[in-house]
Amino acid sequence: MPLGFWVSELAIDVGTANIHVALKNAGTVVREPALIAYAAKTDRAVAFGVEAKQMLEQGVADVRVVQPMRAGVVADLSAAATMLRHYLHKALGRRPLLSPMVLTAHPTGATPVARRALVQALRTAGAGRVVSVQKTLAAAIGAGLAIDAAEPQMVIDIGAGTTDAATLSMGMISDGISVPRGGQSLDEALVRAIKREQDIKLTAHAAEDIKLHVNSVDKALAAQAPGGADNMGSFSHQADDVKAFGVRLDDVADILADACLPIAEELSWMVQELPAKVRAQVATRGAWLTGGTALVRGLPDLLSAHIGVPVSQATDPMACTMLGLQTILNNLHALSLDGRRVSFAGSST
């Protein structure tokens, strides 16, 4: 029996905010915040994921909570390796006898140094062979796009820390960018604006809750949402040791819309730089929006208005990258050009 029979195969999406791990033929087995908590005095890891996030939100004393990934790339190699080792063991239910094969995704515009850092973190965590594909390639497959088609298609993936966009044809990316802005940029914009306009100091956690509560870049849509006028009234929240009561929500949708404009401008620049024929084809076929921030109401219309391309939200946008990685994991023979091309036919959307 070949030795490879005993080697586990996993797909890992290591995002700025969350980590997902799937086992081949078993589906996703880990969904956790990408956080690790250390004892402040000893630098020993004491909590991961949900538990670490709760410690951060509650302001637990003598604990330092670290986010190993920033803007989609490794920011703290040691913390990233420790976190990944924990989740590899959790996914497998044991410490593996043989190093598992890991398929992962990196930002489309990641530098060679950033890609090597992700691979190094995974290998330090206990992975054996590591294959890394562009995030937009995985997201497009997970969204069900027919990536083998000769006509280009566009996908925009907006996660917590980065926005990846690319045009794809013949199973590979022809043009792509990564913008170090995402859902957390919207949270930061809320923190600044509410401090400036209402003199209320919010934690990042409180700002995220407000963003999710309003969940719109269009004031009219926010008012029409379930809860209606309540979405536009006031909001009470307690995060860590900072109390933020009675935050007025009237302008939150506009603040979120303004925070999305730098992303829209970068996407517009990318579209304008496409060859004329490709630009015309993309304008006809439209773009698909994936990633957790894609769930913000009104965002497809806002982006479409700025980039001149119809934008539609993918089905289950939060899961697209992970679904794409699982599809590739089950068809590793379809990868070529150092993982930059996938030669199986996607399903048409």
Mean pLDDT, residues 180-195 taken together? 94
DSSP-assigned letters across all residues of 70-130: ETTEES-HHHHHHHHHHHHHHHHTS--SSPPEEEEEE-TT--HHHHHHHHHHHHHHT-SSE
Average per-residue pLDDT in the chain? 87
Q: Which of 19-23, 90-94, 209-213, 270-274 has the lowest mean pLDDT?
A: 90-94
Q: Are 283 and 309 in contact (CB under 8 A)?
A: yes
| Distance separating alpha carbons of residues 62 and 38, to the nearest angstrom | 9
What pLDDT digit, counting tens, does each position of 203-217 carry?
888 899 999 999 999
Written out in words, the top-level CATH class of the domain with range 142-181+260-317 is: alpha beta
Q: SS3 of 170, please?
A: coil
Mean pLDDT, residues 163-186 taken together? 92
CB atoms within 10 A of CB 341: 17
CATH 1.10.290.10 applies to domain 3-128: no
In the structure, what pLDDT confidence band is assigned to residue 242 with cuts at 50, 70 and 90? very low
Asked whether the predicted pLDDT for residue 224 surpasses 50, the reply is yes
DSSP-assigned letters across all residues of 175-225: EEEEES-SHHHHHHHHHHHHHHHH-----HHHHHHHHHHH-BS-HHHHHHS
Asked whether the predicted pLDDT for residue 291 surpasses 60, the reply is yes
Percent of the chain with pLDDT over 70: 89
Mean pLDDT, residues 24-39 taken together? 91
Q: Which of 65-74, 196-205, 233-242, 304-313 has the lowest mean pLDDT?
A: 233-242
Asked whether the predicted pLDDT for residue 41 surpasses 60, the reply is yes
Asked whether the predicted pLDDT for residue 22 surpasses 70, the reply is yes
Task: Name which of 217, 214, 210 is nearest 227 in CA terms.
Answer: 214
In the structure, what pLDDT confidence band is assigned to residue 6 with cuts at 50, 70 and 90? low
Q: What is the pLDDT of residue 240?
A: 38
Q: What is the pLDDT of residue 216?
A: 94
What pLDDT digit, counting tens, does each position of 111-136 carry?
999 999 999 999 999 999 999 999 99
> In terms of DSSP bridges, do strands 101-106 and 130-134 run parallel, antiparallel, or are they unpaired?
parallel
Mean pLDDT, residues 226-233 taken together? 52
CA distances 134 to 115, 175, 220, Å, are 10, 12, 36
Q: What is the pLDDT of residue 4?
A: 47
| Distance separating alpha carbons of residues 134 and 150, to the nearest angstrom | 19
pTM: 0.88
Q: What is the pLDDT of residue 96?
A: 66
Asked whether the predicted pLDDT for residue 221 surpasses 80, the reply is no
Mean pLDDT, residues 172-192 taken together? 93
